Protein backbone atom coordinates (compact mmCIF):
# COMPACT_ATOMS: atom_id res chain seq x y z
CA UNK A 1 0.00 0.00 0.00
CA UNK A 2 1.36 3.41 -1.00
CA UNK A 3 1.40 5.93 1.89
CA UNK A 4 -0.45 9.02 0.66
CA UNK A 5 -1.52 12.41 1.99
CA UNK A 6 -4.01 15.14 1.18
CA UNK A 7 -7.76 14.95 0.51
CA UNK A 8 -8.13 11.23 -0.12
CA UNK A 9 -11.29 10.22 -2.09
CA UNK A 10 -13.85 8.10 -0.29
CA UNK A 11 -13.96 4.38 -1.10
CA UNK A 12 -15.63 3.66 -4.45
CA UNK A 13 -15.88 1.25 -7.35
CA UNK A 14 -16.70 1.44 -11.07
CA UNK A 15 -14.85 4.74 -11.26
CA UNK A 16 -12.58 6.01 -14.05
CA UNK A 17 -8.86 6.62 -13.62
CA UNK A 18 -6.49 8.01 -16.25
CA UNK A 19 -2.92 9.33 -16.15
CA UNK A 20 -1.97 12.81 -17.40
CA UNK A 21 1.66 13.93 -17.06
CA UNK A 22 2.52 13.40 -13.37
CA UNK A 23 -1.09 12.97 -12.21
CA UNK A 24 -3.81 10.35 -12.01
CA UNK A 25 -7.34 11.71 -12.52
CA UNK A 26 -10.29 9.96 -10.86
CA UNK A 27 -13.90 10.87 -11.70
CA UNK A 28 -17.10 9.58 -10.13
CA UNK A 29 -18.01 5.98 -9.40
CA UNK A 30 -20.28 4.45 -6.75
CA UNK A 31 -19.67 4.37 -3.00
CA UNK A 32 -22.16 1.57 -2.28
CA UNK A 33 -24.99 3.99 -1.51
CA UNK A 34 -25.04 6.54 -4.34
CA UNK A 35 -23.46 7.60 -7.60
CA UNK A 36 -20.62 10.13 -7.45
CA UNK A 37 -19.32 12.88 -9.72
CA UNK A 38 -16.47 14.24 -7.61
CA UNK A 39 -13.18 14.85 -9.40
CA UNK A 40 -9.83 14.06 -7.74
CA UNK A 41 -6.22 14.11 -8.82
CA UNK A 42 -3.27 12.18 -7.38
CA UNK A 43 0.21 13.66 -7.78
CA UNK A 44 2.76 10.87 -8.40
CA UNK A 45 5.67 13.13 -7.40
CA UNK A 46 4.57 13.99 -3.85
CA UNK A 47 1.96 11.20 -3.36
CA UNK A 48 -0.76 13.72 -2.56
CA UNK A 49 -4.49 13.65 -3.32
CA UNK A 50 -6.47 16.83 -3.99
CA UNK A 51 -9.83 17.89 -5.42
CA UNK A 52 -9.62 19.29 -8.94
CA UNK A 53 -10.80 22.90 -8.98
CA UNK A 54 -12.96 23.52 -12.06
CA UNK A 55 -14.06 26.79 -13.66
CA UNK A 56 -16.50 27.81 -16.38
CA UNK A 57 -20.27 27.73 -16.81
CA UNK A 58 -20.74 24.09 -17.83
CA UNK A 59 -21.44 21.85 -14.81
CA UNK A 60 -19.54 18.59 -14.45
CA UNK A 61 -21.05 15.32 -15.71
CA UNK A 62 -23.92 14.03 -13.59
CA UNK A 63 -23.07 11.48 -10.87
CA UNK A 64 -22.39 8.11 -12.48
CA UNK A 65 -20.43 4.89 -12.45
CA UNK A 66 -19.19 2.38 -15.03
CA UNK A 67 -18.23 5.18 -17.45
CA UNK A 68 -14.96 5.48 -19.34
CA UNK A 69 -12.35 8.22 -19.59
CA UNK A 70 -9.35 8.72 -21.90
CA UNK A 71 -6.70 11.38 -22.49
CA UNK A 72 -6.17 13.16 -25.80
CA UNK A 73 -3.61 15.96 -25.86
CA UNK A 74 -4.37 18.34 -23.00
CA UNK A 75 -7.95 17.15 -22.52
CA UNK A 76 -9.75 14.26 -20.85
CA UNK A 77 -12.84 12.77 -22.52
CA UNK A 78 -15.52 11.01 -20.49
CA UNK A 79 -18.24 8.91 -22.14
CA UNK A 80 -21.38 7.12 -21.00
CA UNK A 81 -21.87 5.27 -17.75
CA UNK A 82 -24.84 4.65 -15.49
CA UNK A 83 -26.74 7.14 -13.34
CA UNK A 84 -29.32 4.48 -12.54
CA UNK A 85 -29.98 4.32 -16.25
CA UNK A 86 -27.51 4.07 -19.11
CA UNK A 87 -25.97 7.26 -20.57
CA UNK A 88 -24.40 8.19 -23.91
CA UNK A 89 -23.29 11.76 -23.23
CA UNK A 90 -19.72 12.82 -23.99
CA UNK A 91 -17.79 15.39 -21.95
CA UNK A 92 -14.35 16.88 -22.28
CA UNK A 93 -12.25 18.49 -19.55
CA UNK A 94 -9.49 20.90 -20.57
CA UNK A 95 -6.39 20.82 -18.37
CA UNK A 96 -5.39 24.22 -19.77
CA UNK A 97 -8.60 26.02 -18.71
CA UNK A 98 -9.88 23.61 -15.99
CA UNK A 99 -13.29 23.66 -17.67
CA UNK A 100 -15.83 20.98 -18.56
CA UNK A 101 -17.55 21.01 -21.96
CA UNK A 102 -20.33 18.79 -23.25
CA UNK A 103 -19.34 17.49 -26.68
CA UNK A 104 -22.17 17.19 -29.20
CA UNK A 105 -20.89 15.29 -32.27
CA UNK A 106 -21.83 16.70 -35.68
CA UNK A 107 -21.08 15.67 -39.26
CA UNK A 108 -18.75 17.57 -41.60
CA UNK A 109 -21.82 19.43 -42.89
CA UNK A 110 -22.81 20.51 -39.39
CA UNK A 111 -25.68 18.04 -38.97
CA UNK A 112 -26.21 16.06 -35.79
CA UNK A 113 -24.14 12.90 -36.03
CA UNK A 114 -25.13 9.37 -35.15
CA UNK A 115 -23.88 8.45 -31.70
CA UNK A 116 -23.57 5.18 -29.79
CA UNK A 117 -26.64 4.13 -27.83
CA UNK A 118 -26.60 4.67 -24.07
CA UNK A 119 -24.38 2.17 -22.27
CA UNK A 120 -22.16 1.40 -19.32
CA UNK A 121 -19.39 -1.10 -18.55
CA UNK A 122 -18.01 -0.50 -22.06
CA UNK A 123 -14.41 -0.05 -23.16
CA UNK A 124 -13.00 3.14 -24.59
CA UNK A 125 -9.61 4.11 -25.97
CA UNK A 126 -7.85 6.81 -27.98
CA UNK A 127 -5.88 6.31 -31.20
CA UNK A 128 -4.75 8.90 -33.78
CA UNK A 129 -7.04 11.61 -32.40
CA UNK A 130 -10.06 9.31 -32.55
CA UNK A 131 -12.14 8.02 -29.67
CA UNK A 132 -13.10 4.34 -30.02
CA UNK A 133 -15.98 2.79 -28.04
CA UNK A 134 -16.72 -0.93 -27.94
CA UNK A 135 -19.48 -2.97 -26.36
CA UNK A 136 -20.93 -2.53 -22.89
CA UNK A 137 -24.46 -2.99 -21.52
CA UNK A 138 -27.48 -0.78 -22.24
CA UNK A 139 -29.63 -1.99 -19.34
CA UNK A 140 -31.35 -4.63 -21.46
CA UNK A 141 -28.68 -6.44 -23.41
CA UNK A 142 -24.96 -6.81 -23.86
CA UNK A 143 -23.49 -4.94 -26.81
CA UNK A 144 -20.70 -5.65 -29.29
CA UNK A 145 -20.92 -2.61 -31.55
CA UNK A 146 -17.79 -0.60 -32.35
CA UNK A 147 -17.78 3.20 -32.75
CA UNK A 148 -15.22 5.78 -33.80
CA UNK A 149 -15.46 9.49 -33.04
CA UNK A 150 -12.86 11.73 -34.69
CA UNK A 151 -11.79 14.46 -32.31
CA UNK A 152 -9.75 16.30 -34.96
CA UNK A 153 -9.61 16.31 -38.72
CA UNK A 154 -6.79 14.17 -39.98
CA UNK A 155 -4.20 16.06 -42.03
CA UNK A 156 -2.01 13.86 -44.18
CA UNK A 157 1.28 15.68 -44.61
CA UNK A 158 4.48 13.79 -45.26
CA UNK A 159 6.91 15.19 -42.71
CA UNK A 160 10.52 14.20 -43.40
CA UNK A 161 12.67 12.77 -40.64
CA UNK A 162 14.72 15.26 -38.68
CA UNK A 163 18.23 15.79 -40.02
CA UNK A 164 19.48 17.59 -36.91
CA UNK A 165 21.82 14.83 -35.72
CA UNK A 166 23.33 14.17 -39.15
CA UNK A 167 23.71 17.92 -39.75
CA UNK A 168 25.50 18.42 -36.44
CA UNK A 169 27.77 15.42 -36.83
CA UNK A 170 28.88 16.77 -40.21
CA UNK A 171 30.57 19.62 -38.30
CA UNK A 172 32.59 17.20 -36.15
CA UNK A 173 36.32 17.68 -36.79
CA UNK A 174 35.49 19.90 -39.78
CA UNK A 175 37.85 22.84 -40.13
CA UNK A 176 35.33 24.98 -41.99
CA UNK A 177 33.51 27.31 -39.54
CA UNK A 178 35.42 25.88 -36.56
CA UNK A 179 36.56 28.43 -33.98
CA UNK A 180 38.82 26.30 -31.78
CA UNK A 181 41.37 23.58 -32.47
CA UNK A 182 42.31 20.92 -29.93
CA UNK A 183 45.62 19.11 -30.25
CA UNK A 184 45.20 15.52 -29.08
CA UNK A 185 48.09 13.06 -29.40
CA UNK A 186 49.69 15.53 -31.78
CA UNK A 187 46.67 15.57 -34.12
CA UNK A 188 44.38 18.58 -34.67
CA UNK A 189 40.69 18.22 -33.81
CA UNK A 190 38.57 21.05 -35.18
CA UNK A 191 35.64 22.03 -32.98
CA UNK A 192 33.03 24.69 -32.24
CA UNK A 193 32.89 26.41 -28.87
CA UNK A 194 29.11 26.78 -28.94
CA UNK A 195 28.61 23.00 -29.02
CA UNK A 196 31.53 22.19 -26.73
CA UNK A 197 30.00 24.41 -24.04
CA UNK A 198 27.41 21.71 -23.31
CA UNK A 199 30.29 20.35 -21.22
CA UNK A 200 30.96 22.08 -17.88
CA UNK A 201 34.73 21.71 -18.34
CA UNK A 202 34.78 23.56 -21.65
CA UNK A 203 32.22 26.11 -20.47
CA UNK A 204 34.50 27.05 -17.59
CA UNK A 205 37.46 27.11 -19.96
CA UNK A 206 35.86 29.42 -22.53
CA UNK A 207 33.89 31.69 -20.19
CA UNK A 208 36.35 31.96 -17.30
CA UNK A 209 39.78 33.43 -16.77
CA UNK A 210 41.74 30.39 -17.94
CA UNK A 211 44.43 31.26 -20.47
CA UNK A 212 42.83 28.82 -22.94
CA UNK A 213 39.85 31.18 -23.21
CA UNK A 214 41.88 33.42 -25.53
CA UNK A 215 43.70 30.67 -27.41
CA UNK A 216 42.71 29.30 -30.80
CA UNK A 217 44.70 26.11 -30.26
CA UNK A 218 44.41 24.09 -27.05
CA UNK A 219 46.39 20.97 -26.16
CA UNK A 220 44.55 18.10 -24.46
CA UNK A 221 46.94 15.66 -22.81
CA UNK A 222 44.77 13.37 -20.73
CA UNK A 223 42.79 11.48 -23.38
CA UNK A 224 43.39 9.58 -26.61
CA UNK A 225 42.47 11.01 -30.00
CA UNK A 226 39.82 8.34 -30.59
CA UNK A 227 38.18 8.82 -27.20
CA UNK A 228 38.22 12.62 -27.53
CA UNK A 229 36.42 12.39 -30.89
CA UNK A 230 33.79 10.14 -29.28
CA UNK A 231 33.37 12.67 -26.47
CA UNK A 232 32.89 15.49 -28.98
CA UNK A 233 30.45 13.41 -31.01
CA UNK A 234 28.31 13.05 -27.89
CA UNK A 235 28.52 16.78 -27.16
CA UNK A 236 27.47 17.59 -30.72
CA UNK A 237 24.62 15.08 -31.09
CA UNK A 238 23.72 13.78 -27.60
CA UNK A 239 24.46 10.26 -28.81
CA UNK A 240 27.50 8.13 -29.59
CA UNK A 241 28.20 4.45 -30.18
CA UNK A 242 30.09 3.20 -27.14
CA UNK A 243 32.32 0.39 -28.34
CA UNK A 244 33.39 -2.05 -25.60
CA UNK A 245 37.08 -1.45 -26.28
CA UNK A 246 36.84 2.27 -25.44
CA UNK A 247 33.99 2.18 -22.91
CA UNK A 248 36.30 2.44 -19.89
CA UNK A 249 38.46 5.21 -21.38
CA UNK A 250 35.36 7.13 -22.46
CA UNK A 251 33.91 6.68 -18.98
CA UNK A 252 37.06 8.22 -17.47
CA UNK A 253 36.98 11.08 -19.99
CA UNK A 254 33.29 11.76 -19.35
CA UNK A 255 34.01 12.01 -15.64
CA UNK A 256 37.04 14.24 -16.19
CA UNK A 257 35.15 16.63 -18.48
CA UNK A 258 31.95 16.62 -16.42
CA UNK A 259 29.60 14.97 -18.94
CA UNK A 260 27.42 13.13 -16.45
CA UNK A 261 24.91 11.50 -18.81
CA UNK A 262 27.66 10.10 -21.03
CA UNK A 263 29.37 8.79 -17.91
CA UNK A 264 26.20 6.90 -16.96
CA UNK A 265 25.84 5.50 -20.49
CA UNK A 266 29.41 4.21 -20.30
CA UNK A 267 28.73 2.68 -16.88
CA UNK A 268 25.83 0.74 -18.39
CA UNK A 269 28.03 -0.53 -21.22
CA UNK A 270 30.83 -1.49 -18.84
CA UNK A 271 28.45 -3.40 -16.58
CA UNK A 272 27.72 -5.76 -19.45
CA UNK A 273 31.41 -6.51 -19.91
CA UNK A 274 32.37 -7.35 -16.30
CA UNK A 275 34.18 -10.68 -16.14
CA UNK A 276 36.71 -12.48 -13.97
CA UNK A 277 39.72 -10.76 -15.52
CA UNK A 278 38.30 -7.22 -15.69
CA UNK A 279 36.34 -7.00 -12.43
CA UNK A 280 39.17 -5.64 -10.25
CA UNK A 281 40.23 -3.05 -12.84
CA UNK A 282 36.65 -1.83 -13.28
CA UNK A 283 36.16 -1.67 -9.50
CA UNK A 284 39.21 0.58 -9.12
CA UNK A 285 38.00 2.90 -11.88
CA UNK A 286 34.48 3.04 -10.45
CA UNK A 287 35.88 3.81 -7.00
CA UNK A 288 38.19 6.53 -8.31
CA UNK A 289 35.50 8.23 -10.40
CA UNK A 290 32.69 7.94 -7.82
CA UNK A 291 30.42 5.73 -9.94
CA UNK A 292 28.35 4.25 -7.13
CA UNK A 293 26.18 1.90 -9.21
CA UNK A 294 29.12 0.51 -11.15
CA UNK A 295 31.17 0.15 -7.97
CA UNK A 296 28.44 -1.82 -6.22
CA UNK A 297 27.93 -4.12 -9.21
CA UNK A 298 31.68 -4.83 -9.40
CA UNK A 299 31.85 -5.44 -5.68
CA UNK A 300 28.93 -7.89 -5.83
CA UNK A 301 30.53 -9.70 -8.79
CA UNK A 302 33.88 -10.02 -7.01
CA UNK A 303 32.25 -11.29 -3.82
CA UNK A 304 30.35 -13.93 -5.79
CA UNK A 305 33.47 -14.98 -7.70
CA UNK A 306 36.18 -14.20 -5.16
CA UNK A 307 38.21 -17.39 -5.55
CA UNK A 308 38.66 -16.81 -9.29
CA UNK A 309 38.98 -13.01 -9.25
CA UNK A 310 41.55 -13.02 -6.44
CA UNK A 311 43.92 -15.05 -8.63
CA UNK A 312 43.95 -12.51 -11.50
CA UNK A 313 46.75 -10.07 -12.27
CA UNK A 314 44.28 -7.18 -12.00
CA UNK A 315 43.43 -8.16 -8.42
CA UNK A 316 47.12 -8.35 -7.51
CA UNK A 317 47.63 -4.89 -9.01
CA UNK A 318 44.69 -3.58 -6.98
CA UNK A 319 46.34 -4.98 -3.85
CA UNK A 320 49.44 -2.91 -4.59
CA UNK A 321 47.70 0.31 -5.61
CA UNK A 322 44.58 0.33 -3.42
CA UNK A 323 44.87 -2.00 -0.47
CA UNK A 324 41.84 -0.35 1.18
CA UNK A 325 39.60 -1.82 -1.53
CA UNK A 326 41.04 -5.27 -0.92
CA UNK A 327 40.40 -4.93 2.83
CA UNK A 328 36.81 -3.84 2.10
CA UNK A 329 36.27 -6.93 -0.04
CA UNK A 330 37.72 -9.23 2.63
CA UNK A 331 35.54 -7.65 5.34
CA UNK A 332 32.39 -8.15 3.26
CA UNK A 333 33.04 -11.82 2.50
What pLDDT, on the 0 to 100 scale, is given for residue 154?
47
CATH number for the 161-263 domain, one of 3.40.50.300, 2.40.50.100, 1.10.3720.10, 3.30.710.10?
3.30.710.10
What pLDDT, on the 0 to 100 scale, is given for residue 219?
93
- Judge whether 18 and 59 are in contact, CB under 8 Å: no
Query: How, if at all, do strands 130-137 and 16-20 pair?
Result: unpaired
Cα atoms in the Cβ-side hemisphere of radius 13 Å centred on 279:
24
76-135 residue pLDDT tens? 999 999 999 999 999 999 999 999 999 987 766 667 778 999 999 999 999 988 999 999
Residues of the chain with pLDDT under 50: 154-155
Closest CA to 217 of 184, 250, 194, 195: 184
What pLDDT, on the 0 to 100 scale, is given for residue 292?
82
Closest CA to 74 of 96, 103, 41: 96
190 forms beta bridges with 181
Alpha carbon distance 68, 215 (integer Å): 64
CATH number for the 5-150 domain, one of 1.10.3720.10, 1.20.1050.10, 3.40.50.1860, 2.120.10.80?
2.120.10.80
- Judge whether 256 and 222 are in contact, CB under 8 Å: yes
CATH of domain 274-333: 1.25.40.420
- Judge whether 136 and 119 are in contact, CB under 8 Å: yes
Alpha carbon distance 18, 38 (integer Å): 15
Distance between start and end Cα atoms, the chain? 35
Domain boundaries, the chain: 5-150, 161-263, 274-333
Closest CA to 73 of 53, 52, 92: 92
Amino acid sequence: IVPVKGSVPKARYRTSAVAYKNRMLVVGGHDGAKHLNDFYQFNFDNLEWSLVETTGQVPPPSPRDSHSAVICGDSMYLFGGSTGSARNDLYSFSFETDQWHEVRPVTSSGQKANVPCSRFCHTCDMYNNSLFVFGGYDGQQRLNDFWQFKLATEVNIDIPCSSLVSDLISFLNEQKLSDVTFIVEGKPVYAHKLLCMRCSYFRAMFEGQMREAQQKTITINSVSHRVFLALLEYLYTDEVEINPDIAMDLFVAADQFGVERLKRLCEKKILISINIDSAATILQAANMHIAHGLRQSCMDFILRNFDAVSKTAAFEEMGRSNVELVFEILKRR
